[in-house]
Amino acid sequence: MAALEYLSEGPGLNILVAGLLALLLVIGFTAWRSQKRNYFGQILVPSSLIILSILFFFITFSFPHEEAGPTVVPRLWIFWTCVLCGGILWQVFSGKTKPDPEPGRLGFLLLVVSILIAYYFALQVAGYFLSSFVFLVLLMHVLAFKKKLIIYTVATGWVIFSYVVFYRVLYIQLPLGYFGY
């Protein structure tokens, strides 16, 4: 148990991150050089999620120890992420999936990633509710969703749902930003 706690924070966590990154590089290099090269993305993405889940699993050992404490929900998510990603990898290696499609719109991917990064920073400045509304509206426009009424209804519905369920019922402190809402 002491080893798990050592790897959950400080220098132990740095060692774990370096080891997991090295493992991911080995997996990527092996997939790229193997007969499954046409499945590179379908191997690397679930492998990355599994490795990230392992990292988060170790981080949960730095949480307070209780019977049904703060480690339960993250570990459930970690477990199911690993199971589902393992299922994807099993389908790839058993030959039940199609090869990766040809690379396409890299600029579009960079735009979506940029919007996601901007959303992350906007959470601290504008708060969760306003940032989430703008993020959802912007992303649905970028994804070429045509019906404006649906776009604004979904974004508004999500903000209301988040406010009621997370902020009022569960008392989860969401970032309010400089504006206080």
pLDDT, tens digit only, all 181 positions of the chain: 677 777 777 888 888 889 999 998 999 899 888 888 888 888 999 999 999 999 989 888 888 877 777 888 899 999 999 999 999 999 999 988 888 877 777 788 889 999 999 999 998 899 999 999 999 999 999 988 889 999 999 999 999 999 999 888 888 888 888 876 5
Residue 39 burial (CB count, 10 A):
20
Do 96 and 103 form a contact (C-beta atoms < 8 A)? no
Are 21 and 79 part of one and the same domain?
yes
**AA letter at 9:** E
The total of structural domains in the chain comes to: 2
Q: Is residue 101 part of a domain?
A: no
Per the confidence metrics, is the pTM higher than 0.75?
Answer: no
Q: Is residue 98 part of a domain?
A: no
Boundary (domain end) residue, out of 31, 58, 93: 93
Helices (H), the chain: 2-6, 10-33, 40-59, 72-93, 106-126, 128-142, 148-161
Q: Is residue 181 part of a domain?
A: no
Boundary (domain end) residue, out of 44, 64, 93: 93
Domain hosting residue 35, numbered range: 2-93
- Using left for φ > 0, alpha for ψ between -120 and 50, and beta otherwise, residue 177 falls in left
Q: How far apart are CA 167 and CA 175, in angstroms?
A: 10
Q: Is residue 180 part of a domain?
A: no
Are 73 and 132 part of one and the same domain?
no
